[in-house]
Structure 1
Amino acid sequence: MSPRDYDEAGDPVDLGALTGLRTGKRSFYPAYVRSNERLERAVEALDGISRALVRGAEGPRALVEAVVRAAAEHLQARWLLLAIADGTLRAARPRFLLLTDDRLIDDVAHLSIEMREQLDMARMRPWEIATQPQVPGLVRAPMTLDGEPVGAIVARPCPALEVATTDLAVMRVLANQAAVALYNSYLFHATTQLRGRTEQLSEAAAKQARDLAARNAQLAETQQRLFAAMQRQALDDERRRIARELHDSVTQSVLSAGMTIEVCRAELATMGPQTAEIADKLAPAKDLTRCAVERLRAAIYALHHSSDEPPAPLPVMLERLSTVHLPSDLTVDVQVRGTPMPLPPEAEHSIVRITGEALFNAASHAHASRAVVRLVYAPDGIMLTISDDGTGDPAQLRRRMRLSQVANPDGRHRGLANMLARADELGGTMTILRARAGGVMLRVAIPLPVAVTGGGTDGHP
């Protein structure tokens, strides 16, 4: 059989073009066998490449080990080195791996001089491997990624192995695929780490949210307790103020009346039998004054004890105020219009104090027998009015209120200045008018939302 034959058209056909071999009849079969062996080795190498590359999920080192073993098996190498160039694939580990005598080495101290030279070239000058011709006895394949050299595979194959062009092609394929797989493995593990970090952050955020919710609940409970304490303090302040007023004015007046009666009885007893009879008639008056003083002292003692009322809305606080703080017989009617809405504790405290001041003045100074407290809730503000049927003069009170704005008030009318100051702190206004019942009507207008300023004003009328 001749190396050349003819096709159906009669043109000569080159046998080498059909088989990839250029040989005569006597050497064709051995060459065909060698070519078939190379093809089988190439297929085995590609199969080894595929098995190596799918191990990327196990981590970069497992991938490098699999690639090194597949390449060494294909070349029947005495040693094979895979190295990553400096400054590339920064997260890839290990940076190099050597397989020799079925041992994997990643320590430079265990490398021979020849191995170190090839390692230095792959690390620092990988482009030379891609551009320079092959060195006899060595097989070098560059690792490229996006057209840039990122390392190399260098091997010393078995001397009996005839390295063909297909072997070099297989090594280049393996090196390039290893570079891509290393990069993908890095991305995979980086994503896994980010996912784990994200889960940790999510757990931490959820824990912080739970802690924040618990702290918010504690804060809400603390605010509720503070609000309750401020409500109790508002009533307690009124009690103490009334107790001071009873002690400083009413009790002293009753004691003075009793002492005056006793002096008169003593003088009448020295004037004769007729006046002595009159003195005897004053004895019950003395006993009445003593009884009044004892009752006043009992009332003062009771007023000085703190209240234990539970927290309540502002209308309920005004109801309680109307029953606990008055020093005389005064009937108070509390009326609420509109939909009650929660206010800042400082605002409710000031409204209670203003109401208490006004009711005390109506009972103590205007000698009123009836008072009406009206609280009106509107979308844009709150209106508080306290009206009585006493003897107070609105014009005189307005004059005193104007004077209190330019001078420090003193005496028993200091409460009027306190009420005006509290209204100002709430951003509102206070006016004094004539009530329909004939007495005084105090009107306080507070806009919404309430802006509390200042630290509050304490005092007594």
Structure 2
Amino acid sequence: MADVSELVAAMADQSDLTRLTGLRTGKSTFYPQYRGATARLERTLSSLGLIAGALVRTSDGPERLICEVVEAARVHLDAQWAVFALADGTFVDAGPRCLVLGPDGTPYLVGDVEGPPLPDDVVDLLDNIRRARIADEVVAENRFVCVPLALGGGHVGALAAWTRRPIDATDAAVVSILASQTAVALQNSAVLEHARRTAADLESRNAELEATQRELGAAQRNRVLDEERHRIARELHDSVTQAVLSAGMQIEVCRNDIPADERRERLDLAKELTRRAVDQLRSAIYALEHSADHHKSSLPDMLAQLGVVHMPGELTVTVDVGGTPVELPGDLDHTLLRVAGEALFNTAVHAEATRARIQLRYDTHQVSLAVDDDGCGEPGALRSVLGVARRGDLGGMHRGLVNMADRVADAGGEFRVRRSRLGGVRVVATIPLTAARPEVHDGEDAS
């Protein structure tokens, strides 16, 4: 019974009940206070829902975020004017930088957009926010509240409102939470927008890169095909053409009054040259790497054969080998044989020469091949023709000169056309036996 009495006494104690409920139940204002507290609680919960809904708009971009934030502040505060603005130089890509919601939520886009006039207080506040001339702390005075947007130790803008009812501590706290979270959300939105633009730019650059790679791949394939086509054309010119024309020269000799034995020998030679031309043509068609007689003998021996089987009888060909013959790397002996064959063929067909000399020199670091004649050719004219032929096809003419120069260049060597001491033309090919690749040019007249 004593405990019950104490409990009744405690319940009758006005100060204890006040501490439990926060309301003074003994006064006639109990129910108005209760209803007011309930209204504030409901308004606060509703505002927190609006705030949460506004802040999740980060992924929708700064514009949607700003509109949702200002509307949440206006609804919570029952504001007549709700103002949002960013300081100059902050969040340069965010928009709108200023937004005012008037009575009934009417939006006012501030800036270059013309619209109804704003109250002077609103205009002055916007100017102060843009110039970063606002207080560092929350300002809550009667029916006005202004909360700075703090970020990184500074202020990037402010959120403010003029309300139709007095501002209490709960209102100031809610707006402060909204402002602080808005600053972070704006930063996140800016980062997200930057990431999206970067991703779009990377996607565009990647598409350009893929297109470029496709173009390069096509160009590379075309280049390989062109090189192979030129290689086959060069082989046809330097082998098949020479063999066929040499056979024709042998037949032409047979038309003259010569002994029957020599005529028969030359016809047999023409037949052999024709057969060899067919074999070489088949090899070129199937893009084989070497001609049929490649690697059958040493380079000096093959050079000697050139002067016997391909040349007309009135042209005397001598071969001079200097140094110690060595096995040449790769297709270098094939290259030198083709150069010598083309030079001798030009001498026999065009130079009206009676003598030709092949000089092959083996040195420690290079091998050189020179073909001299006593014909009527002019080195200067040949160099000019070579330069023009390199820049254009000339209808297929003078391919022999170009082929010689290209073969030597492909081997990393130096090709020259000079005046021969025999009186005609001297063709010189010098190719290093090391990794060095000297500059390829046509050369000059010998002194």
Q: What is the match of residue 106 of structure 1?
A: 109
Q: Distance in 1 between matches of 2:160 and 2:330?
A: 87
CA contact under 8 A between 1:381 and 1:449: conserved in structure 2?
A: no
How far did residue 137 of structure 1 move? Answer: 3.0
Q: What is the match of residue 153 of structure 2?
A: 147
Q: Distance in 2 between matches of 1:60 and 1:157?
A: 25
Q: Distance in 2 between matches of 1:199 and 1:427?
A: 43
How far did residue 97 of structure 1 move? Answer: 0.8
Pairs aligned (count)? 338
The TM-score normalised by the length of structure 1 is: 0.59
Note the alpha carbon deviations across 1:268-314, whole angstroms, 9 max, x for none.
xxxxxxxxxxxxxxxxx6xx599789969x98x989x9985425444
Note the alpha carbon deviations across 1:124-152, whole angstroms, 9 max, x for none.
12542x34743443221111112321111
Report SS of the residue matched to 2:125: helix
Q: What is the match of residue 348 of structure 1?
A: none
Note the alpha carbon deviations across 1:388-424, whole angstroms, 9 max, x for none.
xxxxxxxxxxxxxxxxxxxxxx963423369973399
1:25 aligned residue (24, 27, 50): 27
How far did residue 16 of structure 1 move? Answer: 5.0
Q: Distance in 1 between matches of 2:248 and 2:69?
A: 97
Q: 1:235 to 1:455 in 2, by over 3 A?
A: farther
How far did residue 192 of structure 1 move? Answer: 1.7
Q: What is the match of residue 293 of structure 2?
A: 318
The equivalences for 1:243-262 within 5 A come to 251=253, 255=256
Which has the larger Rg?
Answer: 1
Q: Distance in 2 between matches of 1:222 and 1:140?
A: 76
Q: Structure 1 counterpart of 2:235, which letter?
A: Q
Q: Distance in 2 between matches of 1:181 and 1:118?
A: 23
Q: 1:366 to 1:199 in 2, by over 3 A?
A: closer
Q: What is the match of residue 360 of structure 1?
A: 306
CA contact under 8 A between 2:412 and 2:437: conserved in structure 1?
A: yes
The TM-score normalised by the length of structure 2 is: 0.61
Q: Which runs of 5+ in 2 are unaligned?
A: 1-7, 319-325, 335-352, 372-407, 414-430
Q: What is the match of residue 223 of structure 2?
A: 219
Q: What is the match of residue 414 of structure 1?
A: 357
1:47 aligned residue (40, 43, 49): 49
The equivalences for 1:14-163 within 5 A come to 15-20=17-22, 25-100=27-102, 101-108=104-111, 109-110=114-115, 111-112=117-118, 113-128=120-135, 130-131=136-137, 133-158=139-164, 161-163=165-167
Q: Structure 2 counterpart of 1:421, which letter?
A: S
Q: CA RMSD in A?
A: 4.8
How far did residue 220 of structure 1 move? Answer: 0.9
Q: Structure 2 counterpart of 1:209, which letter?
A: Q
Q: Distance in 1 between matches of 2:266 and 2:330?
A: 46
Q: Distance in 2 between matches of 1:454 and 1:178?
A: 71
Report SS of the residue matched to 2:71: helix
Percent of aligned pairs sharing the same letter:
26
How far did residue 245 of structure 1 move? Answer: 7.6
Q: 1:175 to 1:80 in 2, by over 3 A?
A: same
Q: What is the match of residue 175 of structure 2?
A: 171
The equivalences for 1:223-372 within 5 A come to 223-236=227-240, 238-239=242-243, 242=246, 251=253, 255=256, 308=281, 309-310=284-285, 312-318=287-293, 334=296, 357-363=303-309
Q: What is the match of residue 350 of structure 2?
A: none
